[in-house]
Amino acid sequence: MAYLIPSPSATSGITTVPDFSSAAGVSGFHLDFISTTRMFLRPGYARAFANDFPITYPGNVANTDPVIFLDTTVVGAGGCWPTAIPDLTLASNTVFGIYVIAKSSGTTGGSLNPAVNVSAVIATGNDFLPPGYDVFRRVGLCYVDSGTGLLIKWIQAGTSNDREYMVQDAVPVLTGGSATVATVLDLTAGNGVVMPGHANYAQLTLSLTPSVAGQVLSVQPSVLTAGTLAPVTLIGNVASQPIEVNAEIVCGIAGSDVFATNTNAAIKYNVSNAGAVASIWVTGFTDSLGNNLF
């Protein structure tokens, strides 16, 4: 699976039940890359996942860094926990969650002291909070090359809880496809980058080479079954001439229903006639930072 989704142990002290006493929100904490091992988060605010503790990093406090630095080779706050990324054995390129973390004891008289131990961590295991930290919220994602253990750069944009990611190099999910019946494509497994779960947006590049004019490439969320016309279609008007377009689509899941074991993000594709050839790449996706552990 391309995503490492934490499943904290009962003894970790990490609460997996979200708090709904106030709005679950993120403001700021935008992610930027420095190199293939270092990133930083800009100043921001995030309401903690399991309570209404405000995690804030103003970035203008004396004797503190203006941003929160992250190093994939470091173990601990400001790096990875519990394992540095170069020490992992990854079967495929993998996406890891980035969490802002703090100590809820960093309050004085009910007022947050922003200089007290606000940091960030890349979750590389189930129990992802370094010792001493007890509040957290996920604010971003990073993508790691399984062969080198280095970061694969992408760019993050957006405000509030919705963040858009555009990958540096498009990720192929179909090459030379010729299925004439709706066929599921898993956008999360393997080297996939699209968030698992329902209703995630994927940005795609679609390519169709028709054998005769008028052949069609159809694309739809995996949970839908289109009749004569799918939500996203590409028509080849000239025989043997490839045509490409960019498109955005809401994904379904790879399993058959909401209770399916496989909740990877997925789409369906088919071509209208034998002889038509299709390819699909993922160029980006939307990450909604709702009240979710991941």
pLDDT at 229 over 50: yes
Mean pLDDT of the chain: 91
- Please state, as a whole number, how many other Cβ atoms lie within 10 Å of the Cβ of residue 289: 20
Q: What is the pLDDT of residue 109?
A: 46
Tokens of 157: 């944009």
122/225: higher pLDDT: 122
Q: What is the pLDDT of residue 200?
A: 86
Q: What is the pLDDT of residue 132?
A: 87
pLDDT at 78 over 90: yes
Architecture of domain 167-288: Sandwich (2.60)
Residues of the chain with CATH 2.60.120: 167-288
- Please state, as a whole number, how many other Cβ atoms lie within 10 Å of the Cβ of residue 69: 15
pLDDT tens sequence across 148-157: 999 999 999 9
pLDDT at 116 over 70: no
Could you give the CA distance from residue 284 to residue 156 in angstroms, rounded to a whole number?
10
The values of phi and psi at residue 36, to 5°, are -80, 5
For the residues of 132-158, what is the DSSP string, one character each? T--EEEEEEEEEE-TTT-PEEPEEEE-
Q: What is the pLDDT of residue 258?
A: 64
pLDDT tens sequence across 156-212: 999 889 999 999 999 999 999 999 999 999 999 999 999 998 768 999 999 999 999
Residue appearing with tokens 């190099």: 169
pLDDT band at residue 105 under the 50/70/90 scheme: confident
The whole-model pTM stands at 0.92
